[in-house]
Amino acid sequence: MVNEHEQILQRQADRLDALTLFGLFAVSFTLVCYALEKRGHWLVLGFAAGCALSSAYGFLQGAWPFGVVEIVWTAVALQRWWRERAAANRAASQEGEREKSSEANPGA
């Protein structure tokens, strides 16, 4: 026969609390953004946000080393987003200059 302590542990294992659901969302969001980040710099920013959420989850859950590592990943992702955004802005600016130039010199 299962004793009362084991029943309590089983009920706790069967239950998904708000913190667990938050962690599931944070890590899933991070994974999706990472998988799709080649599609644009906004997904790199999403990855950074997911890392920040995952860090919060780590600290709230009591796994502070995970929280610290996710803070580092957040900083790395924000730096990558900043570089990729700047590159995208430069490319858009150069494209705009080419379009203006071709409109000014249609025969060239």
Which candidate, 90, 7, 85, places its Cα nearest to that of 48? 85
Residue 32 corresponds to which amino acid?
Answer: V
Q: What is the mean pLDDT of residues 62-86?
A: 96
**67, burial (CB in 10 Å: exposed 0-12, middle 13-18, buried 19+):** middle
Angle formed at CA 83 by CA 79 and CA 86, multiple of 5 degrees: 140
Whether residue 37 contacts residue 44, with contact meaning beta carbons closer than 8 Å, is answered with yes
Which candidate, 15, 20, 13, 12, places its Cα nearest to that of 57? 20
Who has greater pLDDT, 85 or 104?
Answer: 85
Q: Kindly tell me if the per-residue pLDDT of 82 is higher than 60.
A: yes
Structure confidence at residue 7 as a pLDDT band (50, 70, 90): confident
Could you tell me the two tokens for 23?
Answer: 């962690």
Per-residue pLDDT tens digits for 50-70? 999 999 999 999 999 999 999
Per-residue pLDDT tens digits for 24-55? 999 999 999 999 999 999 999 999 999 999 99
CA separation for the pair 106, 108 (Å, rounded): 6
Residue entry with tokens 């980040």: 37
Who has greater pLDDT, 5 or 51?
Answer: 51
Rounded to a whole number of angstroms, the distance between the first and last alpha carbons of the chain is 90
